[in-house]
Chains A and B, each alone.
Chain A
Amino acid sequence: MTAAAVRVTGVTRVFAGAGREVVALEDVDLTVAPGEFVSLIGPSGCGKSTLLRLIADLDAPSAGTVEVFGRPAREARLSRDYGIAFQQAGLLPWRTVRANIELPLALAGVGRGARRERADHLLDLVGLADFAGQFPDQLSGGMQQRVAIARALADEPSLLLMDEPFGALDEMTREHLQTQLLRICAENRAAVVFVTHSIPEAVFLSDRVVVMSARPGRVREDIAVRLDRSAVAGAGLDSASDDLRADAGFFAHVARVRAALHGTPSLAVAGDTVAEDAVRGGAA
């Protein structure tokens, strides 16, 4: 049996606040299979970003273990097992788009020729081939975020960690990038852990939506999403994704996640057995 992409076991994270301790995460378990797209969603303060940072080993748990591809998170980070994208693009303003995308490869000691080749491919993948020589401040927010995603994919990671990467973008750019992300993920077959506070975004992208509750941060529900995304993932057409977003199954899942977020699961999707089945399938 192959190791899970991510295995979080009994993780608690307590921050020493001013005068009192803040429990950001309490006894959280999470498993992400290779190639699986999992969204973490919840109200602010539910610890979804903290959980992502623990997986990335940007922070250490107070209790519990985090494993990435069967080894401790720290080892996985040091061997560059994952790519990461943040809410801010976080590009280096003194480097061109191409040099930004090549950064992970340069740090890993990949030669110039191989770097160039990989960057060319990634520039095509995110549709920015014409902007390779530009500097980040010459690009719009959406384009910068695409560069950040290309950078996260540079080292061909089998795990992609994304912390609200589209959070600061307008709705149209957001939906477009979601479509592109599905296409890119279909090409790369990487597992994705995606933090978001948008229910439609989570449902649109994910194989599973993990709903979290705040204070203390806990996993409230783990909802499997069964949607046929092949048309979107194949060509990355916005029209195909519009169809998907207008699909009855899509709405049913959105309602299901929303109910879980508000803590009233029984109210959900009374007449929708597809989603109910999907949930049971995911829980089993």
Chain B
Amino acid sequence: MSGPAAARGPGRSAVRSGLAATLPPVALLGFLLLGWHLAVTLGDVPAFVLPGPVDIAANLRELAGPVTGAALVTGRNAAVGLVVGAVLGIGLAVLSSALRPADRLAAPVVTALAVVPIVALAPVLYSMYGAASEQARVIVAGLAVFVPVYVNTLTGLRQVAPVHRDLMRALAASPVQVARTVTVPTALPFVFTGLRMASSLAVISAIVAEYFGGPRSGIGSFITTAAAGSDYAQAWAYVVGGIVVGLVFYAATAVAEHLTARRSIGASTLAGLSA
């Protein structure tokens, strides 16, 4: 730490602005946990209504291995579902935007998929694939992912500004060149909006699908077992595991979005520059 003041200045202000951004929510979280703890202990709330954070933390420490294992199983189901659903969603959206008939064929099916509560398919899928298979959960997660990714990608592919379309035509660009220079960069922010929505949906669907049966392996199945055994603090410990999986998925897509979409329209505007 012996650099010149000029070099240290901006570094320190970056640290300070980082702290300014993270400190308030962390403090709020701590405050809420404290309030929760006080309410449970001072209010004498029975554990089956609401276990205290200390109990849950103790359970979490004790069950660190099983919770991590369950989180990995659910995370894997959600991840495979996310990848498969996203690939299908993006692929079919590209097809629909390129071919009008494909769009007309797909629109009612996608609408139907969007209104069907997809986790409701889980029991049917369990009987199709057998009770020991994780396949049903992957399919539920994949279907839940497909809809928002498809809809957002298709919207994005149709956002190309008329002036850009004219420009590409005037420059005699080939279809591949048009896609690479204009269509894909325009659609990308929309695709990532869809993926960000889908990543949370994938985790939620994978967990909820576990409530309907299948092997006792993931977060959802352990939450139901613990709750059925009246071990509420343990159930909450698994809920925390589920939250962590959800956050990891959300953060992963957010980072991917940040890396890919280096610059979206209107990201920064420097006013006051004159011609």
Contacts and interface: CB of A to CB of B under 8 A. Distances in A.
B53 to A, nearest CB: 45
A146 B275 contact: yes
Contacts, number: 74
A142 B275 CA distance: 5
Contacts of A31: none
B6 interface: no
Nearest to B270: A138
Interface string B143-179: 0000000000000000001011011011111000100
Contacts of A93: 263-266
Given A77-B172, A79-B172, A107-B173, A90 B164 contact: yes
A173 B273 CA distance: 12
Nearest to A127: B275
Interface residues of B, number: 26
Contacts of A94: 185, 262-264
A139 to B, nearest CB: 6
Contacts of B181: 92, 103, 107
B275 A176 contact: yes
Interface residues of A, number: 31
Interface of B: 161, 163-164, 166-167, 169-173, 177, 181-182, 185, 262-270, 273-275
Given A57-B169, A135-B267, 20 more contacts: A56-B166, A58-B166, A77-B172, A82-B170, A86-B163, A86-B166, A86-B167, A88-B163, A90-B161, A90-B163, A107-B171, A107-B181, A135-B263, A135-B268, A137-B265, A137-B267, A137-B268, A138-B270, A140-B274, A143-B275
Interface of A: 56-58, 77-80, 82, 84, 86, 88, 90, 92-94, 103-104, 107-108, 135, 137-143, 146, 173, 176-177
Contacts of B273: 138-140, 143
A156 B89 CA distance: 42
A77 B171 CA distance: 7
Contacts of A108: 171
A123 to B, nearest CB: 15
Nearest to A142: B275
A164 to B, nearest CB: 12
A141 B182 CA distance: 21
Contacts of B265: 93, 137
Contacts of B266: 93, 137
Contacts of A78: 172
A88 B163 CA distance: 7
> Lowest 10 CB-CB distances: which A-B pairs, in order?
A142-B275, A90-B163, A138-B270, A84-B170, A93-B265, A173-B275, A94-B185, A78-B172, A88-B163, A140-B273
B132 to A, nearest CB: 48
Listed residue (B167, B185, B270) with the most chain A CB atoms within 10 angstroms of its CB: B167
Contacts of A146: 275
18 contacts: A56-B170, A79-B172, A80-B171, A84-B170, A86-B166, A90-B166, A90-B167, A93-B264, A103-B171, A107-B171, A108-B171, A135-B268, A137-B266, A137-B269, A138-B269, A138-B273, A139-B273, A142-B274
